[in-house]
């Protein structure tokens, strides 16, 4: 980060690539596309991040906003995991994510139940985030990777419904829903324009991080102009980040910043400042205050015991 980056989220990847000897033998895959073996949720990542953060000086800590990611969004206990992490490591975390629901190439590799935007476990997570003040950074593709011509982007409808069910939770939609092969849906910028004009979605912000997203935005002069116009229209609703995973050097870390130079050049000074710094600081400064308050209030409270689910058995009605 050096002197070029002020603050950043900090989180571990929630999914671990299984080393299945029957699949790859002595080759130990470290990347999810390097093996056919499944992925699994890796809860220890939160403790690992917390301890790394706590090893920093107080001044260094001020530059990071650690996020909780080591939970399974299909598990009704996921919210309890997040609660437990906050109580175990008070003063550390400011949000949850980046975690994924629909994600190209990833979702189909995860062991167990497939994540869904309609799963009540996800609602339970977002409810708890709203209660505590945790910022939610969610990755959800705008569409399936290879949709048929004319196929309805049903994921987009489900995503909008999810956001509206949680009006008191600050949510960041990662990468505008784009990916390596997931391309913008027809009139996507117009759809986002309508969404940002909708008062029921005032709690939702848009992230434009990742080089795979930048390739769509800076593809043509027209795409740059249209995206800049949208950000200038809604300067309070967009955030920029790198989404670099363990960059080897600063040049790689800042690659996307330079890719976006044509976009930045067409932003108003106000919109550029808010995109690069202001909107992030506003969201996470508020989260730090609210989450620390929740931690203090609940520090000595026992863990809640979930109510048992009624089960019908022989002789029961």
pLDDT in tens, 125-163: 999 999 999 999 999 999 888 777 777 778 899 999 999
Secondary structure of 74-136 in the HEC alphabet? CCCCHHHHHHHHHHHCCCCCCEEEEEECCCCCCHHHECCCCCCCCCHHHHHHHHHHHHHCCEE
So what's the pLDDT on residue 174?
A: 97
Exposure pattern of 161-199 as b/e (b: 16+ CB <10 Å)?
ebbeebeebbbbbbbbbbbeebebbeebeebbbebbeee
So what's the pLDDT on residue 302?
A: 78
Domain extents in the chain: 8-298
Architecture of the domain defined by 8-298: Alpha-Beta Barrel (3.20)
Banded model confidence at residue 316, pLDDT cuts 50, 70, 90 = very low
Query: In terms of Cα–Cα distance, which of 4, 6, 11 is closest to 244?
Result: 11
Q: Above 90 in pLDDT, residue 311? A: no
Stated as kind and residue range, the H or E segment containing 181 is none
Q: Above 50 in pLDDT, residue 171? A: yes
pLDDT digits (tens, 9 = 90+) for 185-244: 888 999 999 999 999 999 999 999 999 999 999 999 999 999 999 999 999 999 999 998
pTM of the model: 0.93
Judge contact between 39 and 18, C-beta under 8 A.
yes
């Amino acid at each position: 980060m050096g002197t070029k980056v002020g603050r950043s989220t900090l989180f571990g990847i929630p999914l671990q690539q299984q080393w299945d000897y029957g699949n790859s033998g002595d080759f130990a895959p470290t990347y999810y596309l390097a093996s056919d073996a499944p992925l699994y949720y890796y809860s220890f990542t939160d403790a690992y991040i917390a301890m790394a953060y706590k090893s920093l000086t107080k001044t260094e800590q001020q530059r990071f906003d650690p996020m909780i990611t080591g939970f399974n969004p299909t598990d009704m206990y996921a919210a309890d995991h997040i609660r437990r992490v906050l109580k175990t490591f008070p003063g550390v975390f400011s949000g949850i994510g980046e975690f994924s629901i629909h994600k190209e190439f990833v979702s189909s590799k995860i062991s167990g139940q497939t994540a869904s935007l309609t799963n009540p476990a996800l609602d339970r997570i977002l409810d708890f985030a709203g209660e505590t003040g945790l910022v939610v950074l969610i990755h959800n593709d705008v569409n399936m990777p290879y949709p048929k011509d004319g196929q309805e982007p049903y994921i987009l409808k489900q995503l909008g419904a999810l956001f509206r069910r949680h009006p008191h939770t600050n949510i960041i939609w990662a990468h505008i829903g784009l990916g390596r092969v997931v391309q913008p849906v027809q009139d996507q910028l117009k759809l986002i324009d309508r969404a940002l004009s909708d008062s029921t979605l005032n709690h939702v912000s848009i992230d434009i991080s990742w080089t795979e997203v930048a390739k769509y935005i800076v593809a043509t002069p027209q795409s740059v102009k249209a995206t800049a116009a949208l950000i200038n229209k809604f300067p309070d609703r967009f955030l920029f980040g790198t989404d670099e995973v363990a960059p080897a050097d600063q040049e790689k870390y800042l690659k996307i910043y330079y890719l976006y130079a044509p976009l930045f050049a067409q932003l108003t000074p106000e919109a550029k400042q808010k995109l690069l710094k202001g909107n992030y600081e506003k969201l996470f400064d508020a989260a730090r205050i609210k989450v620390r308050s929740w931690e203090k209030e609940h520090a000595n409270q026992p863990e809640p015991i979930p109510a048992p689910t009624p089960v019908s058995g022989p002789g029961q009605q």
